[in-house]
Structures are given as C-alpha cells and as structure tokens.
Structure 1
Amino acid sequence: MTAEARLRRLRRRLTALFTLTSSIGLIALSAFAIHIDDASWRRQLDDALNYQTTQAILLLGFDDNGRLDVRDMLDGLETECPALSVVPVTAGKPTIAHTPRKPCVKARPEDIEEAATAAVSEDSTIVVDARGDNGRRIRLLAEPYTGADGTKPGGALVAADDMSRGQAAHGRLALLLVAGCAVLVALSAAAGHLLSGRAIRPALAALQQQEEFLADAAHDLRTPAASLRSLAETALRDDAHRAAALERTVRLASRMGDLIDGLLTRARLMAGVAAIARQPLRLDQLVEAVADDTETGEHRVTVRTEPVVVAADPDLLRRAVANLLGNALAHGHAPGRHAEVELTVTADGTLTVDDAGPGIPPALADSLFQRFRSGSDSTGLGLSIASWIAHAHDGTLNVTTSPRGGARFTLHLPPRTT
C-alpha cells in the first residue's frame, strides 16, 4: 500500500472515530433525555392522582356504627376523572365500596382490589401500571386511609387515569430526539471528514514534495551518472585518453555534487524551511558559462549577450538555464539533423532560447510547464523545474514561436538597478 493510500485510510479511520465518539455522546444524551422525560410525565401523573386521593381521604367519614360514609366525598369531588374507587380492606380481604358510575377509565376490579390490598399491607401509597377494559394502559395509585378506630388503615382510595396521552407525547419527543440524533450524527460524520482532511493535508503536501524531489533527483542525475559510467569505461580500456577522461570525471562529479545541493536546496525551499539565497550576479556570464559546460556534440549553440545584473540564487538559476538549453538541444531540431540553438541575453534581464525545431503545438503550450508533461520520451521535469525557479525569483517563463521556425523560451528576471 502506498503512503498516500495509508494517509487516506488514516483519514477514513479518523472520520469513523470522530463519528463514533460523537454518536456515543449523542445517543447517551438522547437516552438520558428520553429517560428523564418518561420519569417526568409519570411523576406529574402520579402527583395529580395523589392530590385527588389525598383530597378525597379528607372528605371520608364514618357513621355512629363505624361504617364508611362517602357522601361528603361525592359531593365535594368529581370522581369520574380520574376515577376514584373506595376499597375497604377487612382481614386482608378488599371490597369495593364505591366506584364512579361513568368513569373516564375503566380499571379491572381485581387490579383495583390488588392495589388497595398492597397499600394497606404496606401502609403507604403505591403506584402500579395496569390494563383497562379496553386494553389501554392505565395508572393506578392507591393511598391508604385510617379506619374507624383511628389507628390502623381501614382501606384505600384507588385513583385510576389513562396513560395514553402522556405516552403519546413521550413517544413524539423520543421520535424527535432519535431523528435529531441521526441528523447530528450525519453532520458529525461530515465535519469529521472535513477536519480529518485538513489534518492530513500537510502530510499529503509533504508526501507530494517528497515524490517531486525524488523525480527531480532522478531527472537531473540520470544524464551525469550515465556520463560518469561512460568516462570510467573509457579510462579503463583506453590508456591514451585515461588522464583526460579522469579529469572530465572529476569535473562531472563536482557538477553532480552541485546538482544534489541544488535539489536539496529546492526541497527545503518548497518545504518552507529555507529561503532563496539571492545575490547579485551577471546573467550574461552565467549563460555563457552554462553554454561552455554543456556537451553539445555536433549541435551548434550561438550565444549573444548584453551585460545585466540580476539578484538570484546562482545554483538554481544555472539549473534553469541548463534545463532550457538541454531541452532545445534535445527537441529543437528535425529528426536526423543537428540542432541550431541561439541564446540571447538582453540588458532588461531577459534570456531567450531559440531553436529551429518543429516548435510547440498550441494544444501543448498551456501545459508544457506542468510536471511530467513532455512531447517526447523524457520525463517532462526539466521545463517544470525551470518554470518553478523563474517564479521563485519573481520572474516569468513562457514559450512562443521562434523567428527561426522552432520554439522560443523566454526567461525574464527583474534586473538589479543598484
């Protein structure tokens, strides 16, 4: 798996982890809110039922024979809703003494008696859930009352009410929370994806810079390495030219060292850990030196210069000029013919490289300076490196049609005035 693929997998894992963490938090909060709401509406219902039973117990009385009297309760309270049932409990046996004629909730008698018996036996208020005659869930609250002797519970008042209204409101809230939680989880996933993308963006940029550095190194060192091997083979088999071959080998090795230094410098510049070492230099002399050091073979290179001083990094600018000249020598001629290249330096800081080759197709001109774009078998890095160096020095590099019929590359750097 490539490094880029590993970084993208890391991004997916970060997104999943962020989403999972957010989901756990949201689900926990939603569950807590649902639980709190469920307990709240049940407590409110219980409070309302307990208020009714307490008021009813205050209105209960007994006659002279100790029998239960509910007339004051019936006169003073509305007992249909919630439905109030009076259940005396004697020797552990409950008997329903009063139930509303038209109750809003019809509880089963056995449930009412069971709740009353439990309240009397525990001598405290109890709350239970039950089912009405129609199958709907109801809430029963049983509160014991003191018997005629004034010491022990004589029975209980049982209040019943429908739970469907509270359950429906609770269900709507739960559904709303679940839907909101789903939306927030989706938004969390999107936010996590964006944040993880920003987190790995510097790593991706560093990886791309590393790949560019390796490609540039391979491009710039391939030809000198081949030349070194050729010179070494010549020195081994030709004693007469051994001294000259070794001398050229030393010069070429020195140039390779400069190339490596330039590559490392560019990598550091692109990474933002170093600044371009600008210094005043004669552009015309640098171009002449590059032309002298370039192996032209049977190709012909003409140099015309005017004195001009620019502020630039000598090693980087030398590479840019060498790349432009090498490109002209390689592609600026028809098949089977020698190249004729003309280098011109003017006093305004402009270098033009003209050749008599086939020129640049219009469709290729816009993308010619992009990495790995070339009209031949080369890697297409030389012109992109030259373009980067030009822009790094606040200059420009463009291509037009040469008066000689081929391509004209124009490198312009701001001239130094002082």
Structure 2
Amino acid sequence: MPARFRRSRPLTPTARVRRLRRRITTLFALTSAVGLVAMAVLAIRSDDARWREQLDRTMDADTSWAMGLLETDESGRLDTRVMADTMGTGCPPLTVLSLTPGTDTDLVVDRAPPRPCLSARPADIRQAAAVAVRDEAASAFDRRTTHGEPVRVFALPFYWPDAVEGDRPQGAIVTLSKTSSQGADHRRLTWLVSGGCVALMCLSAAVGHVLSGRAVRPALAALDQQEAFLADAAHDLRTPAASLHTLSETALRGETDSTEVLRRTLSLAQGMGRLVDGLLTRARLMSGTATLAREPLRLDQLVEDTVADAPLGEHRVAVRAEEAIVVADPDLVRRAVGNLLGNALVHGHAPGVPADVRITVARDGTVTVDDAGPGLPPQVAGALFERFRSGGGSTGLGLSIASWVAHAHGGSLTAAAGERGGARFTLRLPTSA
C-alpha cells in the first residue's frame, strides 16, 4: 500500500506526553539559543566598534598635535618644517595634503614621510584626506599596506591659522596604524564568545530536558496508575464475570434450581461489588487522594473467612490459626490473602492433581501460605512481585497486588521454598501492639 494511503497509528497517551516533553525541550532550547545568539552578536559588534574607537582616539591625538605645529610662511604658503623637525613624520607616518588653490577637490602632498614605518597605497591616503575635507570631519578606513598588513587610515582636516568661521578646510593630515594585534584579539574574543554560546545552548537544552521531564513526570505517573488500575480491575473481575457467564448458561439450560441460581448470582454480585470498591480504594491510595482505612481486626478470622468463601472444588486447604490482631484495612488484607490462596490453588500443584495448601496464622501478624507444587520458577523468582509476572496460566497481577497491600501497611511479602518442595509465601502485617 502506498505510504500516502497508510493511516498513521494513533499515539498512546504516554507517547503524546513524551512528545510534549520533547517539544518543550526544543522550545526551551530555541528560546535560549535566540537570546544567546543575540547577546553574542551584540558583544562581538560592540568589541569590534570599541577597539576601532580607541585606535581612532589615539590617532586623533597624534594628528591634532601635529596640526598644532603647522605654520605658514611670509607668502601664506603652508610650512611643515617645524612639524617635521619636532616630531618627525616617519613613525607614526604623517602625510600632509593641501588643496590646490582655486579648487575644492585637487589635493597635493605637502609633506610625505621619507622612510615611513608603514606605507599605504597613495590612493588610500588621498581617499581618506578627500573624505575628511569634504565632510569637514575626521575620517577613518580599514585598509592594507603595500605589504598586505591590515592598517587603519585616519585623516583629520586642518584650517589656515587666520581662518574664520565658515571657511572650508585647506587640507588634511593622514596617519596610519597597524591593526593586526587588535584584529587578532577581536577574532579570539569572537571564537570564545561563539564557543561559550554553543556550550550554553547545549547546557540550556540539557536543563530544559530535565525540567520538562520533571514537569511531565506527574502526568506519566498518573497514566501509569491508570493503566495499572485498568489491568488490576480486569484481573480481579475476570473470575467472577466468568462465573456469572457459566451460571447464566446453566440456568438457561434448566440444569440448576432458580433459587440456587439467584442465590449464587447475588453472592457473585456482592463479591464483584467488594472488588470494585477495593480497586477504587487502591487507585485513590496510589494517587494520594485517600488514606488506608486502618482498624484493629482479627487476622485469624479474616483468613478463615477468606478460605471459606474461596471456590476450592477438589483442592484441600488446611488452616492453622492463632489469635492475631493487626491494624490494617480489612478489604485490602482480604484481597491480599485471597490472591495468595488463589496463586497456590492455580500454581501449587502438578497437572491433574488437587492442590494441598496449608495456611498458618501466627500471633505476630504473619500469614504463611505453603503449597506442594513444583516450587518457584527460576526465571521469575527475582521479579515475582512485579506486575504481569506469572508462572503461567494467569496475568500475574495477584502477587503484585498482595505485595502492594503488604507494603502499604508497613509490612512485607516474601517468597521462598517450602518444606514440601513447593512455594512458601509469607505475609507480615503490623500488630496492634
């Protein structure tokens, strides 16, 4: 069948919650990434502008000092000898360009360093001076020297000493400065900021994954409790439902007296009602919305009543009970004992042979259930009380429910080999003392 005609399998509630967790994690990581990238770009651009601004201030100080040394001769022409004699023009390299009289764009070189420490292309020097004269303000450009080194070209316009307000600049002084060290520092900062940004984004994704996991954990726990409740309900109601079905078929065939049918139907309905109540109680206890109905009760009598109500058939069950008073929930303890007895009746005998079960109730609140069956299967002995673990023939919920009841009361449920070669289950409950 073509893929476009296939209907995608609907996701389970657990899968939808896990998908929501992945989406929350992704959204958290993307939000953090946007913020981190924006901060990184801002930091890199700020550093780039900062080192250029600092370099321009230094170059402006040099050219301003040199500008103070410019003079004019008796004929009104620019005289750069004092500047050259006082500070030199080789390093930092200072080039003085002046406008040709009668023009606004033609610049001529009045003073060029004979042996500059940095040499730029004449076109770059003229461009910087032309922009400074035109804008009547300092200008700066990033260029390269004749040897290919990165350099900063700075030009500052100057005026005649007798200039008045409104006069245009008469030329410009151009200086150069290396930018290789500043550029290397800026690239290093760029790599550090970029690497830190990537590391923080990974950390943000990890933190988001952990936080989203904690956020959806209650939902997953609720779903697990819901699935456990449904499975336990199906397990506990299967037997009385099957008995009702068999009883109904027997009554339809007329093989049983109607009064007996009604009596057994009523008994089964009452038992199913108790099971439903117990399941609902357990669900409320697991979700934390209810507490155990603890009360003093005669454990020996409860065990005897549970055995009397069990459908034994050909199986044999012997009870030896001492008077024992425990503090527990009667319905839940009855279910736990019934599950242990039912497990012994199903698994505690060889095929075709009736079960021989012995139940002992001690004064310390201990119930021991011994059978003469094949014993505990080695493959499930380590996880016997987990849900859906079974030796065969059942869904494996009975022992897990009994274990949960024992631990909910502060007791325990253990399994070991019995004296007759079968399995021995020991249920311990706290006594009234």
**Superposed pair shares fold, TM > 0.5:** yes
Q: 1:312 aligns with which of 298, 306, 328?
A: 328
Give matches, 1:11-410, under 5 Å. 11-90=21-100, 91-92=103-104, 93-147=106-160, 149-151=162-164, 152=167, 153-238=169-254, 240-362=256-378, 364-410=380-426
C-alpha distance after superposition, 1:98-118 (max 9, x if no partner): 111221221222222232233
Shift of 1:236: 2.3
Distance 1:246 1:103, change over 3 A: same
Q: Is the 8 A contact 2:250 2:256 kept in 1?
A: no
The residue type paired with residue 138 of structure 2 is T
Q: Distance in 2 between matches of 1:88 and 1:63?
A: 15
C-alpha distance after superposition, 1:22-71 (max 9, x if no partner): 11111111110000000000001110111111101111001111121112
Aligned residue for 1:343, secondary structure, equals strand
Is the counterpart of residue 3 in structure 1 residue 16 in structure 2? no
Distance 1:336 1:74, change over 3 A: same
Q: Distance in 2 between matches of 1:251 and 1:18?
A: 58
Aligned residue for 2:40, secondary structure, equals helix
Aligned residue for 1:329, secondary structure, equals helix
Distance 1:309 1:105, change over 3 A: same
Distance 1:148 1:289, change over 3 A: closer
Q: Is the 8 A contact 2:377 2:391 kept in 1?
A: no
Aligned residue for 1:338, secondary structure, equals coil
Q: Distance in 2 between matches of 1:79 and 1:359?
A: 105
Aligned residue for 2:130, secondary structure, equals helix
Q: Is the 8 A contact 1:148 1:154 kept in 2?
A: no
Q: Is the 8 A contact 1:115 1:158 kept in 2?
A: yes
The residue type paired with residue 55 of structure 2 is L
Aligned residue for 1:379, secondary structure, equals coil
Aligned residue for 1:366, secondary structure, equals helix
Distance 1:403 1:101, change over 3 A: same
Aligned residue for 1:96, secondary structure, equals strand
C-alpha distance after superposition, 1:243-294 (max 9, x if no partner): 1111111111111111011111111111111111101111111111111111
Aligned residue for 1:97, secondary structure, equals strand
Q: Distance in 1 between matches of 2:176 and 2:301?
A: 106
Aligned residue for 2:170, secondary structure, equals strand
Shift of 1:395: 1.3
Aligned residue for 1:416, secondary structure, equals coil
Partner residue in 1 for 2:3: none
Q: Is the 8 A contact 1:234 1:242 kept in 2?
A: no
Higher mean C-alpha displacement, 143-152 vs 333-342 = 143-152
The two structures, once aligned, show a CA RMSD in angstroms of: 1.6
Q: Is the 8 A contact 1:232 1:246 kept in 2?
A: no
Q: Distance in 1 between matches of 2:419 and 2:232?
A: 31
The residue type paired with residue 84 of structure 1 is L
Q: Distance in 1 between matches of 2:36 and 2:225?
A: 40
Aligned residue for 1:334, secondary structure, equals coil
Percent identity of paired positions between Structure 1 and Structure 2: 57
The residue type paired with residue 107 of structure 2 is P
Write out the 4+ residue segments of structure 1 that deviate beyond 3 Å after TM superposition: 361-364
Q: How many residues align?
A: 417
Higher mean C-alpha displacement, 316-325 vs 368-377 = 368-377
Aligned residue for 1:54, secondary structure, equals helix
Aligned residue for 1:301, secondary structure, equals strand
Higher mean C-alpha displacement, 308-317 vs 152-161 = 152-161
Q: Distance in 2 between matches of 1:148 and 1:37?
A: 38
Q: Distance in 2 between matches of 1:336 and 1:50?
A: 108
Distance 1:130 1:366, change over 3 A: closer
Q: Distance in 2 between matches of 1:122 and 1:349?
A: 101
Structure 1 stretches lacking a partner, 5+ long = none
C-alpha distance after superposition, 1:137-183 (max 9, x if no partner): 33222212112642332211111222222212111111111111111
Shift of 1:239: 6.7
The residue type paired with residue 371 of structure 2 is D
C-alpha distance after superposition, 1:207-229 (max 9, x if no partner): 21111111111110111111111
Shift of 1:78: 4.2
Aligned residue for 1:344, secondary structure, equals strand
Q: Distance in 1 between matches of 2:40 and 2:417?
A: 70
Q: Distance in 2 between matches of 1:191 and 1:373?
A: 36
Q: TM-score normalized by structure 2?
A: 0.92
The residue type paired with residue 92 of structure 2 is P
Q: TM-score normalized by structure 1?
A: 0.95
Q: Distance in 2 between matches of 1:240 and 1:140?
A: 114
Shift of 1:135: 3.3
